Amino acid sequence: MRLSTVILPTRRWSEGQKIWQRAEDLDFHTAYTYDHLSWRSFRDDTWFGAIPVLTAAATVTERIRLGTLVASPNFRHPVTLAKELLTLDDISGGRLTAGIGAGGPGFDTTVLGQEAWSAKERADRFAEFVPLLDKLLTRDATTEQGHRYAAVEARNIPGCLQRPRIPFHLAATGPRGLRVAARHAQGWVTCGDPADPDVPAERAPAVIAAQLAKLHTACESEGRAPDSLAKVLLQGFTAERPLSSLDAFVHWAGTYRELGITDLVLHWPVPDSVFANDLTVFERIATEGLAQLG
């Protein structure tokens, strides 16, 4: 099992860079950030762009992997995103993971002036977005005409430093999204039940177990070995409180390891927010937590 963190882009870089460097010092496997233009309770607070923040992080770190968690079609286009990801992969020395999802309702969906998309429309876009992004990152030139996205002689030379391309970690829980993940992903991402965030803590593992079973079915239908995907659980969206103490984390991590989760992603504490946690406890979890699983 691997332990990663997500660092929200809520701090000016003079302060923020120290957190990314500290994440590397703590030996987190990957440090992600959210790819939103604003987000929920942080809407009226400081919030910077994901790609520039990750680029800056790449220049002040050496080993830790970096990534989006997650980019989405809500305001992204595959052609421009591919160019940015390819560039960031190069700047980071091949340390980039592209977390991608269908997006959800919220500020990002209407900020460009469009009507909010339905769940079906988001799923349709995701199913077209990911395969096109895959082609853009594996070919020198791509021409593709889809229902919602097009690329006309889009050039991406010299290609990704990581071959055949940057790994995709796809967030999906519905049947169509899971098929896209089975076909294109190197990792699958979940944060619990997107339709019911109030699932009691004791029932949360059963939700993930059911999702994993559906992922296995999707992989088998695509002729893919389920074990060939990383299974990533993003903490912070269920009633569980694994960051309250080291013991709570060990119990939580052990439960999900038994279910088949391979990667845990913890929110770096943000004071006076929904992600407020004790930094001392958090750092102890980072350094001691997995070792106590045995």
CA 82/CA 151 separation, integer angstroms:
11
Distances in Å between the alpha carbon of 110 and those of 29, 35, 49, 189, 270?
34, 15, 17, 25, 26
Q: Give the chain's radius of gyration (CA, Å).
A: 18
Residue 82's CATH number: 3.20.20.30
Which residues, 6 or more positions from 44, have their beta carbon under 8 angstroms from its beta carbon? none
Q: How many CB atoms lie within 10 A of CB 13?
A: 15
Residue type, 220: E
pLDDT tens-place values along the chain, 294 residues long: 999 999 999 999 999 999 999 999 999 999 999 999 999 999 999 999 999 999 999 999 999 999 999 999 999 999 999 999 999 999 999 999 999 999 998 889 899 999 999 999 999 999 999 999 999 999 999 999 999 999 999 999 999 999 999 999 999 999 999 999 999 999 999 999 877 878 899 999 999 999 999 999 999 999 999 999 999 999 999 999 999 999 999 999 999 999 999 999 999 999 999 999 999 999 999 999 999 997
- Among 218, 226, 287, 292, residue whose Cα is nearest residue 259: 226
What would the two tokens of residue 223 be?
Answer: 């002729």
Please count the structural domains in the chain.
1
Please state the φ and ψ torsions of residue 142, each to the nearest 5 degrees: -135, 130
Which amino acid type is present at position 184?
H
* Cα distance between residue 279 and residue 64, in whole Å: 20
3-class DSSP string for the chain: CEEEEECCCCCCHHHHHHHHHHHHHCCCCEEEECCCCCCHHHCCCCCCCHHHHHHHHHHHCCCCEEEEEEECCCCCCHHHHHHHHHHHHHHCCCCEEEEECCCCCCHHHHCCCCCCCCHHHHHHHHHHHHHHHHHHHHCCEEEEECCCCEEEEEECCCCCCCCCCCCEEEECCCHHHHHHHHHHCCEEEECCCCCCCCCCHHHHHHHHHHHHHHHHHHHHHCCCCHHHCEEEEECCCCCCCCCCCHHHHHHHHHHHHHHCCCEEEEECCCCCCCCCCCHHHHHHHHHHCHHHHC
Please tell me the predicted confidence (pLDDT) of residue 194: 79
Whether omega before 70 lies within 30 degrees of 0, making that bond cis, reads: yes
pLDDT reported for residue 294: 77
Domain enclosing residue 278, as ranges: 2-293
User: What's the confidence (pLDDT) of residue 106?
Assistant: 84
Check: pTM over 0.95? Answer yes or no. yes
